[in-house]
Amino acid sequence: MANLSKTKTLFAFTSPRTIEKIIPEIRILAKNYEGKKWSGNSDLQISFFKDLFYSEFYQGNKMPSNVSLASRDRITRAPKSLGFIDLKPVIRLTDAGKLLLTEKRINETITRQLLKFQLPSPYHPINDKTFFVKPYLELLRLIREVGSLSKSEIALFFLQLTHYKHFSQIVSKIEIFRKNSKSFKGSRKTYVAVCFEKEIQHIYADEIKAKNFKTRESEAISMKKFFATKRSNMIDYADAFIRYLRATLLITFDKRTFHAIISPAKNKDVDFILNNVMRKPKIFNSEDDFKQYLFNPNSVMLLTDDRNHLFKRLNDLKISYYSNATIESLKDLLEDGESQIISSKIEETTVTLKNYKKYNDIVDIFRRISNREVPDPPLYLEWNVWRALVMMNYAKEIKGNFRIDLDGVPLSTAGGNIPDIEVLFNGFKVIVEVTMSSGSKQYEMEGEPVARHFGSIQKLSSKPVYCLFIAPTINENSLAHFFNLNRFYTKAYGGKTKIIPLSIKQFIIFITVAKKKGFNNPNVLKQFFDKIVKENQTIEDEEAWINSINEKIPFWVG
């Protein structure tokens, strides 16, 4: 149970950053520990985290120092707060949780549970009247009202919407922010920084006046650090709100500004929600009453629960159906039709990428990814690398394992047990793994999964397999790991690995050379990879190896 007595803004679930990642975690908890006591049971919490740590989908190879705390962070946030798991008196998978684990229409299940999240609630009590809001409902309403929202606008203003009756005030703040930005003399970055300082001074006026600068992250008494920490937290919460609401498919991103907008394909669904879901948080007599409401997957109705709407959508898509079919059967048909729309979007994108027509855009997106100017950098890195490889052409198949939405906008990254991208050429295969992580964290998160994905493909392939590992920068530990792994026969990976690390900057040069020199022969690409892998076996060390790769890239196409 969280206490909001000292909380001044809305908060979001920052872990996991992608809500779909709770699915395998809940599955492990329910399968191995249902019916057992959670609260105060550190032995069980440690055991659960170890099960999670050694699972195929866990990212990272370093056990946290406080395992029971890490375990609680995984379960008591989104899984519990959104009603997928009950932890009192014992661990129990709820009806909403059971539906989530079917992985059928995940977006609908997530939508219903997010719309029920409210402040206050028996899970998040507060004594005064400061908080009275359903955050995800009001964020959806705010995007509809102002047309689009940037991450900065969500951080600066939406987080202050602690009571639904303050909605018009927040809209006014956003309008003034946008108007003043046009007359500001400095850069956009400076303007946003000035606005953060102003809003933080307003939100935390009492703490600043009392010089109470202690935060949960630091005991240091420093106004500068206080402001920096609050700004960082606000941005993290804004990012988390966007990611979770994005999983509903109700919002997407503007392809030019990357601001959050209502998905054109879901306009009617959003209007139905805004017109029918009560804005006022519910008042409950007891925690049991709250749980009964929260755990029921059907306590919030969506437009897709309306038979007549489903009939109309199916008619629009020219899909045949039986009028006496169940709602779920009709939804299955609609889902199949929407999958075909998504496939068509991918085909359309593929056509537009041919002949380097989107080269400048692809390079610009890489720049914006590196500067973290996109809403979900890891996802956009996967998507943009896929675009670049499609643009180069001459592969038999290029499969990006990320997902896109009905508007053709990237939706979610590849699952944890498959490569990010798979490329099939005549005579060889290439898998691509990308990451935005840096420093030692890069090695901890990517070292083992990259090798495992490579091995799973190589062991089943009769053709040579290569792996490109792409990141903003290549950490020295990652480089050393791949350098040595490539040198030794490893049975678990089907032999020696062929993992080639490239920074984003190097990859941009790589595709630029392909464009300028008219790359049209996949064998040239294979020869380039073979030279790098062969040199890996004899060169002095990993530093000499990466320097050699860097020297070869400008000349990889003869």
For the record, the structure tokens of 540 come out as 């002095």
Q: DSSP string spanning 352-402?
A: HHGGGTTHHHHHHHHHHHHTT-SS-HHHHHHHHHHHHHHHH---SEEEE-S
Cβ-Cβ contacts under 8 Å for 465 (sequence gap 6 or more): 428, 429, 430, 431, 454, 457, 458, 498
For the record, the structure tokens of 335 come out as 């889902």
Split at pLDDT 50, 70, 90, the class of 454 is very high
Split at pLDDT 50, 70, 90, the class of 217 is low
Alpha-carbon distance of 518 to 431, in angstroms, equals 23
- 358-555 maps to CATH 3.40.91.50: yes
Alpha-carbon distance of 185 to 194, in angstroms, equals 12
Alpha-carbon distance of 284 to 339, in angstroms, equals 40
pLDDT at 2 over 90: no
Quote the pLDDT of residue 57. Answer: 82
- Collapsed DSSP state (helix, strand, coil) of residue 247: coil
Lowest mean per-residue pLDDT among 97-101, 204-208, 514-518:
204-208
pLDDT at 159 over 90: yes
pLDDT digits (tens, 9 = 90+) for 485-543: 999 999 999 999 999 999 999 999 999 999 999 999 999 999 999 999 999 999 999 99
Quote the pLDDT of residue 294. Answer: 98
H-run or E-run covering 425:
strand 421-425
Overall size of the chain counted in residues: 558
Region 157-173 average pLDDT:
98
pTM of the model: 0.90
pLDDT at 6 over 80: no
Split at pLDDT 50, 70, 90, the class of 3 is low
Region 44-59 average pLDDT:
92
Cβ-Cβ contacts under 8 Å for 143 (sequence gap 6 or more): 149, 251, 260, 261, 262
pLDDT at 221 over 90: no
Q: What residues does 429 pair with on adjacent strands? A: 424, 465
